Amino acid sequence: MQNLLFDFISKYISLTEEEKSTLLSLNLFHSVKKGTILLKEGQKSNESYFVLKGCIRSYYNIDGEEKTTAFYTEMEALVPPSVLSKTPSPYYVSCIEDCILTISNTDMEEEINRKFPKFETMCRMMSEELLAKERIDFDAFKTSSPEQRYLNLLQVRPDLIQRVPQHQLASYLGIKPQSLSRLRARILQKN
């Protein structure tokens, strides 16, 4: 798993053996079972997650109904906003598959950035990419119909169709599970 992480980092910066050893000494790698809730609504946390293997999701619980806002799969990072604002989380984060995650906290990150300033550069570059991606995703969601959202998902993230329970996928698309079933049937009929 460490090679997966190092390969990902190498897209942004090159690492020396000392930097690799320092990262490995931080005990970043965690195996987490399917169903584990990493962060609860109302909980304060300073942990960030990077998915090496598996799938996690963020969701709100609104009047007893889960509203999925995002899925994070291999080589995707999640820094809950509550980490930055130091306030209780407004949502949940849970594993929908068995996962291997790197879990870091703000103290670790500050120590690494102090020892190796190029990590701060890498984090800035990743943040800029993530911000642009989230803006594009948000705009696409707001300007498209449920059918267009589903077709886009098939094109951009087809793995989610097989990996994610239908009720969570429907919630992510902003529709009810029954509507997703009808939508799938209609699309199959067209083809």
Structure tokens at 150: 């589903």
Enumerate domains of the chain plus CATH numbers. Answer: 2-117 (2.60.120.10)
Structure tokens at 124: 């800035």
pLDDT reported for residue 83: 92
pLDDT reported for residue 3: 87
Q: How many angstroms separate the CA atoms of 87 and 118, rounded? A: 28
Residue 1: is its pLDDT beyond 80? Answer: no
Query: Who wins on pLDDT, 109 or 35?
Result: 35
Q: How many angstroms separate the CA atoms of 109 and 104, rounded? A: 7
Percent of the chain with pLDDT over 70: 100
Those residues whose C-beta lies under 8 Å from the C-beta of residue 25, and which sit 6 or more positions away, are: none
- Does residue 97 contact residue 55 with C-beta atoms inside 8 Å? yes
Instruction: Give the mean pLDDT of 153-163.
Output: 93
pLDDT reported for residue 142: 92
Helices (H), the chain: 2-9, 17-24, 81-85, 106-115, 118-142, 146-156, 159-163, 166-173, 177-190
Place of tokens 């130091």: 86
Structure tokens at 36: 């584990």
Order of strands, edge to edge, in the sheet holding 99-105? 29-32, 99-105, 47-53, 76-78
Give residue-wise pLDDT tens across range 92-151. 999 999 999 999 999 998 988 888 889 999 989 998 998 998 999 899 999 999 999 999
Residue 30's identity, in one-letter code, is H
pLDDT reported for residue 27: 86
Q: Return the axis-axis angle of helices 146-156 and 166-173, rounded to nearest 10°.
A: 120
DSSP string over 73-84? -TTEEE--HHHH
Give residue-wise pLDDT tens across range 51-95. 999 999 999 999 999 999 999 999 999 999 999 899 999 999 999
Percent of the chain with pLDDT over 90: 76
Q: How many angstroms separate the CA atoms of 89 and 125, rounded? A: 25
